[in-house]
A = this chain, B = another copy of it.
Amino acid sequence: MPRRPNRRSNELRGRPHQKSAPHPLDSARLFAALGDENRLRLVARLCKGPASITGLSEGFRITRQAVTKHLRVMRNSGLVRNTRRGRHTIWQLNEHRLKDVRRYLDLISKQWDEALARLRIFVER
């Protein structure tokens, strides 16, 4: 049987990102964007304020091109955005996307808590 094209495509591409409501696909793209050590380091750098690509590349052991790719993956998930200023490209965090992730986690925790409560009631009676 031919494999179903269920995987995520190159650079986690797709429609930029959903309007709202934590859809699994959209959330998965967000988590995947954070699911790489180098990308997390980039996020840490961006936490200290906006920066250009060459600025971000300093201190990294990977090529500027690799950094560019990572940034693009994060942009496709909505995690960061970039603006052109002369010959520099300034990258910065999209904080509201971080809030999206946290909302998703809150939802999960809440449901899990309720499930545990139900289990407890079921066991105790």
Which chain A residues have a beta carbon within 8 Å of chain B's beta carbons?
4, 6, 8, 24-25, 27-41, 43-44, 46-50, 61-62, 93, 95, 98-99, 101-102, 105-106, 108-109, 111-113, 115, 118-119
Chain B residues contacting A106 (CB-CB under 8 Å) are: 102
Which of A25, A31, A113, A119 counts the most B-chain CB atoms under 10 A from its CB?
A31
Q: Closest residue of chain B to A41, judged by CB?
A: B24
Is the Cβ of B47 less than 8 Å from the Cβ of A112? yes
Question: Known contacts A29-B35, A49-B118, A102-B105; can you find 16 more A-B pairs with CB under 8 A?
Answer: A6-B62, A8-B36, A24-B41, A27-B40, A31-B31, A31-B32, A31-B35, A32-B36, A43-B108, A44-B111, A47-B108, A49-B119, A50-B119, A95-B113, A98-B105, A102-B102
Interface of chain A: mostly helix, strand, loop or mixed: helix
Chain B residues contacting A37 (CB-CB under 8 Å) are: 6, 8, 24-25, 28
Q: Closest residue of chain B to A22, judged by CB?
A: B40
Residue among B34, B49, B111 making CB contact with A35, cutoff 8 Å: B34
List 3 tightest A-B contacts by C-beta distance, closest first. Answer: A32-B35, A47-B111, A31-B35
Is the Cβ of B61 less than 8 Å from the Cβ of A40? no
